[in-house]
Structure 1
Amino acid sequence: MEQVLDDIQYLRTGDHLTLIAQVKVPVERTLAAAAAVSGGGLGVHGGRLSVVGGGGIHGASANEPIMELIRVSLAADGFGTHLSHLENLSNHDVPGDIVSSTFLCENALSKKALQEQLLVDSSAQSLTNNAGSGYKTLLYGHAVCFKHVQSEKYLACMASSPSSDKLAFEIGLVENTIERAWWIIEPSNKQRSEGDKVKIGDEVILISVSSERYMHAALPVFSPLASFQPSCWAMGIVKRGDVEGTTMGYVKGGDTIRLQKGLDECLSVVEITNRSNTANSSYVIKHYDSRRLYRS
């Protein structure tokens, strides 16, 4: 029974997942336009002009920008630049590139086991192969390495710093699982503690082993950085890892599938909010060019 719960509720090595964060971005529109979009009106509260009613738009004074909460996913290109970026998932007209945002949780080690492995004078590739046998449930406080599925490279804290923050480091892709490619999983709230199992959809804080800095969704550059400011990342499942004894060629409950029409169209769900009553939302199914989800 416990093994069944591990397969359903908890993340483990071998799973394909996405890292999603929520960030605030300035909205380039007037307050009146914001009120029209959100379905609310304008009002004054404590000397601040804000949008009354609606959702997603935060009030601001005349000199402050209007902030909107959006969802972004950590992504990287399979070719060209080695740096990662943030993919906007809140654009209902253009779906986010899920392929570039998918990472394989290839290996997980305790802090002590990782330090012992790093002290051994061995190749970086053997570090993964020796310790990555079988499937292990992810635990808070353990170190993990994420392999970008499209490029088959590892997510790492780079040695270069961005021009906007000299105390931070850029995040990109490297060939091997060196120390810079390992991240510590820490809970983002007091409901989880070190040693607990990581559930699907949990919001976690990722800390670089090499720099001891947090993985942060930096704006407005739309680029993740390893900095002293943490961000909460929701670990969503894309595909479960193959389990020993599983019959291949069959669709099981919990599997991720794509409904494709013809050769270059697939089905996607878009949320349509009733502007007169934001409590009511409906969903429509649209055709999208599936080539938007892939990069050649």
Structure 2
Amino acid sequence: MKNIGIKIFAYIAVALMLTSIAPAMGVADTDNLQDRIQDRDRVNATTNSSPEGTSNQIRQAMSTQERYGEATENFLRIKANNSALNTEEAIEATKEYLNTTIDVMIESLENDEYTEKLNEEKEDIAAATTRAELAECAQDIRDIWREARDERANSTTNSINNKLTAVIRVSETMALRLENEIARIEKNGEDVTGLQEMLGEYKAHIAEAKEYREQAMNANTNREKQSQGFQNMKQVGLSIKEANAVLRNMLTELKQHREGLVSLSADETLTAEGDGTAVLSGNFVLSFNADDVILVVKDMAGDAQVDT
């Protein structure tokens, strides 16, 4: 989620900068632009002194981001000297900037539907001859980007929500099982005060996670509140993490109350007879003989080597 979020918000700057093409809009932030222009001039001077065709080869070797960066700087430099963007040089620089912007968006989205739409805009850009026509292209590109961004954000949010909902449901089922187990222990006359307190804390964290999840879903229906929605999603994860910390302590405590609990170490041997279920947990090498049994192995840590 984090990487996706970074991509989405990083490229918002790309879309917003398109407004600088429209006559009524201001120029994008040009702090330190002069230094970047000087660096680019030095590169151009080196390139111009090279054999014919070297410039194109260098450009082909550049990444999409590098081509976009070069086109952006060139566009800003020309706009700084000619805000009307009405010369042939300005029109060509604007076209190059728009085309590289589209390339960055396509690379980021990796979506065939929006790739097709954006490539269609390239055709309109090629046919444009005035700044007004290019401004219209820029607006169309921004609209496509907003649509794609919103669709991706909704898809990501729904996926995360589904996973969190599943975790909460499992946690609620676990709480019910723990409640039944504590009731059984109490029925046997044992003190379960500590377990009941931990169970109450566990339930409180799960309830808190559910509340944050509901707030997150409500916030994500409103674009202005989506930032708060992401924060609520984060809080869901933190609440579940706190619940799991309590759960680990509860399971440790419950082990001491299990009927027939035996702890083994080194090469000790356990002999048992009768019908029922034997549960063995820990990090061990086990050798045993049994008749008419069902063996179930649960690899909780994900690193067991099982050979039966």
Instruction: Select the structure that is richer in strand.
Output: 1
Instruction: Select the structure that is richer in helix.
Output: 2
Q: Is the structural similarity TM-score above 0.5? A: no
TM-score, normalising length: structure 2: 0.21
Q: Which has the larger radius of gyration?
A: 2
